[in-house]
């Protein structure tokens, strides 16, 4: 009996030792992975040859309006959260070192100061995921230089999702309405999706789908419009409202099948037929 008990204790020690090795190996993997990855993008400010950093207070002398609005901007958090390294926060983190720009009285904007409104590269330093979206097959022509980030985003103001100098009580889709006036015009029968904003259906930076849609074909509409499966009778059926939509699926999407052509809204049809 004693021998049996001694054998059981020995086996238990061996088992615990094996478990310890497994736990240690797992811990090593976790520690190794945590040391080999980072959860933030390491950025470097734009470079102006021969220029040095002067600090935000110098910019305030010539740009008081921007300096007054900037503290309420989400971009101002970079100044509060980042370290004390020159150019890693504030104005010069996006515009580059400003000593040469200041030395000639604020002139030489094309040469001695970096303008993200003309070149999105400064924005992409932090917004790497947005850079990737602009490389998708369908995208707004920002990489081609036909558009820039500032047309849709105010980098200095409180509402960064709204373009600069917009109305104080701007409606939700004001940014898109600057170019897409036909799709955002006031109508009698408004598509409810527009109340949630254009981005409920469109990906503004880039998409793999035509017209920057977040989901292709009729699946986009079916995310909001409930479908009721009908009985398994011959061709099958499913209802949206009181209408069996199964026969229409073969004709394409809801708006290209000749049905809901005025998908953004209509002045005559509550179902957006035209």
- In the chain, DSSP finds a helix count (H) and a strand count (E) of 12, 7
**Burial state string for 142-167 with b = 16 or more CB within 10 A and e = fewer than 16:** beeeeebbbebbbbbbeeeebbeeee
Q: Are 98 and 92 in contact (CB under 8 A)?
A: yes
The model scores a pTM over 0.75: no
In this structure, the dihedral spanned by the alpha carbons of residues 243, 245, 247 and 248, taken in order and rounded to 10 degrees, is: 120
Task: Tell me the per-residue pLDDT of 55-108, one tens digit each, with 9 for 90 and over.
Answer: 888 998 899 988 888 888 888 876 544 455 667 778 888 898 999 999 988 877
**Cβ count near 251 (within 10 Å):** 12
Triad 137, 140, 144: Cα angle to 5°: 85
Task: Tell me the per-residue pLDDT of 150-175, one tens digit each, with 9 for 90 and over.
Answer: 888 888 887 777 776 654 445 578 88
257 φ/ψ angles, rounded to the nearest 5 degrees: -85, 5
Q: For the ranges 19-28, 145-154, 187-196, 238-247, which has the lowest average pLDDT?
A: 19-28
């Amino acid at each position: 009996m004693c021998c049996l008990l001694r054998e059981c204790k020995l086996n238990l020690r061996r088992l615990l030792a094996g478990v310890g090795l497994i736990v240690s190996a797992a811990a090593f993997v976790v520690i190794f992975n945590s040391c080999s990855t980072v959860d933030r993008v390491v950025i470097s400010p734009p470079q102006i040859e021969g220029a040095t950093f002067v600090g935000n207070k110098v910019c305030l002398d010539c740009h008081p309006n921007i300096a007054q609005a900037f503290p309420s901007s989400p971009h101002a958090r970079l100044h509060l959260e980042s370290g004390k390294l020159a150019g890693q926060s504030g104005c010069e983190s996006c515009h580059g070192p400003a000593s040469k720009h200041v030395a000639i009285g604020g002139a030489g904007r094309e040469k001695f100061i970096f303008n993200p409104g003309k070149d999105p590269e400064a924005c992409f330093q932090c917004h790497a995921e947005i850079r990737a979206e602009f490389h998708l097959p369908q995208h707004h022509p920002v990489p081609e230089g036909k558009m820039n980030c500032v047309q849709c985003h105010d980098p200095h103001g409180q509402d960064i999702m709204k373009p600069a100098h917009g109305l104080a009580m701007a409606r939700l889709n004001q940014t898109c309405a600057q170019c897409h006036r036909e799709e955002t015009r006031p109508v009698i029968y408004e598509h409810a999706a527009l109340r949630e904003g254009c981005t409920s259906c469109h990906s503004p930076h880039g998409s793999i789908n035509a017209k920057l849609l977040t989901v292709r074909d009729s699946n986009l509409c079916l995310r909001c419009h409930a479908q009721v499966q009908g009985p398994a009778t011959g061709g099958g059926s499913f209802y949206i409202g009181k209408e069996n939509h199964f026969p229409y699926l073969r004709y394409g999407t809801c708006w290209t099948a000749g049905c809901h052509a005025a998908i953004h809204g209509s002045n005559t049809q509550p179902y957006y037929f035209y």
